[in-house]
Chain A
Amino acid sequence: MRGTFIRTLEKMAKADKNIFLLTADLGYKLFDNFRDNYPDRFVNVGVAESNMIGVAAGLALSGKNVYCYSMVPFLTMRTFEQIRVDLCYHNLGVKLVGVGGGLVYGLEGMTHQAIEDISIMRSLPNMTVTAPGDPAEVECLIEESVRYKGPLYIRLGKDRDPVVHETAPDFKIGRGIVLKRGKKAVLFAAGNVLPAAKAAVEALEENGLSITLVSMHTIKPIDKKLVIECARRTKAVFTVEEHSLIGGLGSAVAEIIAESGEKVIFRRIALPDAYSKYMGSSGYLRKKYGLTPQAIANRITKELKKK
């Protein structure tokens, strides 16, 4: 996803001289082209994320369209209050692009894993929170982001994220994408778990369970209409994300379901409210925490049997 991000941003920066890119010493080589083509619009601000956000706010107040890049925890958590006061309060259109959402940096340990970011960013007034599900969604999102008003958080995977959409998706910030319609249940997925969600739905289909699959790339503002419509049609709602149970996609959908009065089965498939006690790659951790296609499919089957 990060490769798609920078290629798309380069394309947009060619047409729009206002686009600035700040990095807090991340992305070795990744930004070489951007820096060579637009040396005056690229800054490595050093290992100093909080300062980066303040500087971005100042540049935005001077009419610049600023993208800030770092790893998710350093971009969203080290800097939380600067984001709150300097960006959100003024509704400044600074874009926060974080690499390594969820368990991508599994083996690096908890400092590099990001399981709370969606929750934290979602709590901020004016903030838009996105977690694209594949490189195709990243491309659409970056294109749309250029004209987007207000602070925007973009949670990326890393590289080698598989493509889910074979053709250009019908993408709009704030609107979920229905990948497949089914009758028995709906599965909402956010972020780089989308390929696993898709594989799970395909496996369920083979076993005779037809499930609606939605890429909920925007967690805030959430696509309320789509959530209610899908809940009404299927009577069973599942969410899946590589994020803590608390405050992410599952919580956002739960809030809508609870207030809608719809009587449905509702289950969140997510990471527990705990730092990983295991050490391992993201693949291994996904196994341990039930986020593989198999585990997702099993969970849905089991819950539907209870009905």
Chain B
Amino acid sequence: MGKDDIKKLEETAKKIRRSIVETLSSAKAGHTGGSLSVTDILTVLYFKEMKIDPSRPDWEDRDRFVLSKGHASCGLYCALVERGYFAKDLLSTFDRTDGCLQGHPDMHKTPGVDMSTGSLGQGLSVGAGMAAGARLLKKSFRVFVVLGDGEVQEGQVWEAAMYAGHNKLDNLTAIIDYNKLQLASRVQDAIDLEPLADKFRAFKWNVIGADGHSIESLCKAFEKARKNKGRPSVIIADTVKGKGISFAENKVEWHVRVPKGDEIAKALDELK
């Protein structure tokens, strides 16, 4: 990765963030904080790490992606547009009647979505199953699952973690969008996750830390995951909920609140 490549990805992430702000504010609905915290992760996945072909969303050898924190759908849709899965115009139908971009991702409605999500806690199990499937089929595709930190409180996440660790699914990579906030409070005020890395290590995972808003740090983390053999990898990505809009950053309120009125121009200005 040269400096230019990093710069390019940073520009892409910025474009995606702008799309997110435009899309959410025009829909007057959706999840701002969690879409913006996961943007850089999505950028590195879709523009660097994943083996995919936007012209063939059903290509059977493609890497698979599961957005287990499905409420960040807007972030995913904007990344898919930027990567060329469908036209940007469609974003104006986000969360609208008769559209194809539902509040939570639906694999039957949107090209490029590998798994329908929205009920938290289920994605890592499905991802582990896909990874096990790849092995059975003797395929080399890899599976990536993004989870929210609040989501990690679901017991099923730990059942999946145990299963993947036990079965040494090294073609599976989980990414935790560790923005320290959930729907109603700070994560530590609901159920603290710490020590999170130790928990995954104890479950036989390869644990990698990353700055979830540094393209370089994320690229390095994904490289480590790719090279790792014999264990599933988890990238614990430190992020900021609402990243990129100063007045939305680190605020619980911005979980479902979307920019309106003057805020829209202000947000877009900050994302120039």
Whether the pair B102, A279 counts as a contact (CB closer than 8 A) is: yes
Residues of B82-115 whose CB lies within 8 A of A: 95-100, 102-104, 106, 109
Specify which of B100, B116, B183 lies most central, judged by the most chain A CB atoms within 10 Å of its CB: B183
A47/B155 in contact, CB under 8 A: no
Closest to A283 in B: B97
Residues of B within 8 A of A23 (CB): 184
The reply on B150 being an interface residue by CB < 8 A is yes
Chain B residues near A48: list those with CB within 8 A: 153-155, 191
Query: Residue A50 at the B interface, CB < 8 A?
Result: yes
Chain A residues closer than 8 Å to B121, beta-carbon distance: 47, 78
The answer to whether B119 touches A111, judged by C-beta atoms less than 8 angstroms apart, is yes
> Chain A, 38-52, contact with B by CB distance < 8 Å: what is the 0/1 string?
000000111110110
Cα of A51 to Cα of B191 in the assembled complex, Å: 12
**Contact status B118-A111, CB under 8 Å:** yes
* Shortest distance from the beta carbon of B99 to any chain A beta carbon, whole Å: 6
- Complex Cα gap A279–B73 (Å): 15
Instruction: Give the interface size class of chain A.
Output: 20 to 34
Contact between B70 and A284, CB atoms less than 8 A apart: no
Minimum CB–CB distance from A216 to chain B (whole Å) comes to 29
Answer whether residue A20 sits at the interface, using C-beta atoms and an 8 A cutoff.
no
Contact A47 B102 (CB under 8 A): no
Q: Which of B102, B118, B190 contacts A25 (CB 8 A)?
A: B190
User: What's the nearest-Cβ distance from chain A to residue B44, in Å?
Assistant: 26
- From known contacts A44-B190, A108-B104, A109-B103, infer whether A28 and B154 are also in contact, taking CB-CB under 8 Å: no
Question: Is A107 interfacial (CB 8 A cutoff)?
Answer: yes
Q: Which residues of B contact A111 (CB under 8 A)?
A: 70, 104, 116-119
- In the bound assembly, the distance between CA atoms of A23 and B183 in angstroms comes to 11
Q: How far is the CA of A299 from the CA of B98 in the complex (A)?
A: 25
Bound together, the chains give a CA A281 to CA B104 distance in angstroms of 13
Q: How far is the CA of A41 from the CA of B153 in the complex (A)?
A: 21
Give CA–CA (A31, B252) in the complex, Å.
14
Q: Is A12 engaged at the interface, CB distance under 8 Å to the other chain?
A: no
Residue of B nearest to A108 (CB): B103
- Chain B residues with Cβ below 8 Å from A278 are 98
Q: Does B189 make an interface contact (CB < 8 A)?
A: yes
Give a binary string over A105-118; 1 marks a CB under 8 Å from any B CB, 0 the rest. 10111111000000
Please report the C-alpha to C-alpha distance between residue A281 and residue B95 in the assembled complex, in whole angstroms.
9
Residues of B within 8 A of A279 (CB): 97-100, 102, 106, 109
Closest-CB distance, A223 to chain B (whole angstroms):
34
Contacts of B189 in A (CB 8 A): 44
CB of B179 within 8 Å of the partner chain: no
Which B residues touch A74, using CB under 8 A?
119
Within 8 Å of chain A (Cβ to Cβ): is B182? yes
A107 lies within 8 A of B191 (CB): no
Q: Which A residues are CB-close (under 8 A) to B182? A: 25, 46-47
Contact yes or no, B190 A108, CB < 8 A: no
- Is the C-beta of B185 less than 8 angstroms from some C-beta in chain A? yes
Q: Quick check: is A169 within 8 A (CB to CB) of the other chain? A: no
Q: Is A26 an interface residue (CB 8 A)?
A: yes
Answer yes or no: B151 CB below 8 A from chain A CBs. yes
Interface set of A (CB-CB < 8 Å, partner B):
23, 25-28, 31, 44-48, 50-51, 73-74, 78, 105, 107-112, 278-281, 284
What 10 pairs between A and B have smallest CB-CB spacing? A111-B118, A46-B191, A46-B153, A280-B97, A108-B103, A46-B190, A111-B119, A109-B102, A109-B104, A284-B97
Chosen A-B contacts, 24 in total, with CB atoms closer than 8 Å, are A25-B153, A25-B183, A25-B185, A26-B184, A27-B184, A28-B183, A28-B184, A45-B191, A46-B153, A47-B120, A47-B154, A47-B190, A48-B154, A74-B119, A105-B103, A107-B95, A107-B97, A108-B102, A108-B103, A108-B118, A109-B104, A109-B106, A112-B104, A279-B100
